[in-house]
Amino acid sequence: MSEYVVLSYVDIALASVFLLLNGVLSLWLKLGVARNLVFATLRMVVQLLLVGLLLKSLFTIQSPWLTLLIALLMIGFAAREIWARQERRLKGWQGMAIGGTSMGASVGVVALVALIVLVQPEPWWHPRYALPLLGMIMGNAMTGISLSLDTLHTALNREQRAIEAQLLLGADKWQAMRPFIRQAMRAGFMPSINAMAAIGVVSLPGMMTGQILSGVDPNEAVKYQLMVMFLIAGATGLAVMLATLGSARALSDDRDRLRIDRLRKVKA
């Protein structure tokens, strides 16, 4: 096994030249994304540097309670991101609770099975293994839930009259909303399906590439990547279904009425 290559901050700065070029071109073409690009870049750099320092401390302390606390904070931030990415959001506490609870339940169960049954680190809650695995699964589940809920809320708002007409004709809320629930679930599944279809042919995933660059045998890197992709797809699918059904229930009541009034549109 070869020794991994240590990158300097100068190397990182050179890698950012192409992103800087994107910013210059966006200004020249008046795309209106330069400000967002700068903000996202700065946020990414600060967040990753802080995470690096935090993880280094956690690896030294090795406390299960601190690991659990960081995991809960990750779920909380992800729930907020899910809520923020929707054009039409549920009002009140349910807006973040549905996405966060669905993701926390599905990702938590899948990550626990992976750590206890598959990876089997000692101890199983070691932050070196638990937090990176949780983060990879959670990031993809967050994207799936965001797409599914945004699709569902937009469709229910657009087709409000058609759904209410079906309810007046005797359909229950699940029958009336079923096509839009399916549409939302398909939207949430699509990123995982596309990623699995393209992996190895169109793209090499970041985790696998990083392992290979650090000197890990490619066959071993493939095994870990397959495991991670199965976990990601499984957790994302469960989270998407739970979140979509939960949101559909929140947008109706026990009398089979559609409650679009519980949605609010984000101001542009």
Q: Could you tell me if 258 and 252 are in contact, meaning their C-beta atoms sit under 8 angstroms apart?
A: yes
Range from 143-147, 208-212, 247-251, 260-264 carrying the lowest mean pLDDT:
208-212
Element (H, E) at 177: helix 173-198
Same domain, 75 and 33: no
Question: pLDDT at residue 192 above 60?
Answer: yes
Same domain, 190 and 104: yes
User: Which DSSP letter does residue 89 get?
Assistant: E
Same domain, 132 and 29: no
- Counted domains in the chain: 2
Same domain, 185 and 237: yes
Measured distance CA(153)–CA(107) in Å, rounded: 23
Measured distance CA(143)–CA(239) in Å, rounded: 10
Same domain, 92 and 201: yes
Same domain, 36 and 98: no
Tokens of 167: 């309810």
Measured distance CA(259)–CA(164) in Å, rounded: 10
Instruction: Tell whether pTM > 0.85.
Output: no
Q: How confident is the model at residue 1 (pLDDT cuts 50, 70, 90)?
A: very low
Question: pLDDT at residue 181 above 80?
Answer: yes
Tens of pLDDT, residue by residue over 105-125, are 999 899 999 889 888 888 888
Q: What is the β-pairing status of strands 263-265 and 88-90? A: antiparallel
Q: How confident is the model at residue 202 (pLDDT cuts 50, 70, 90)?
A: low
Same domain, 128 and 257: yes
Range of the domain at 89: 64-265
Tens of pLDDT, residue by residue over 57-81, are 888 888 889 888 988 988 888 888 8
The pLDDT value recorded for residue 238 is 92
In three-state form (DSSP H/G/I as H, E/B as E, the rest C), the secondary structure along 138-158 is HHHHHHHHHHHHHHHHHHHHH
Assign 16 to helix, strand or coil: coil
Helical residues (DSSP H) of 62-172, grouped into ranges: 64-84, 94-113, 127-158, 160-168
Tens of pLDDT, residue by residue over 207-217, are 677 777 767 77
Measured distance CA(184)–CA(158) in Å, rounded: 13
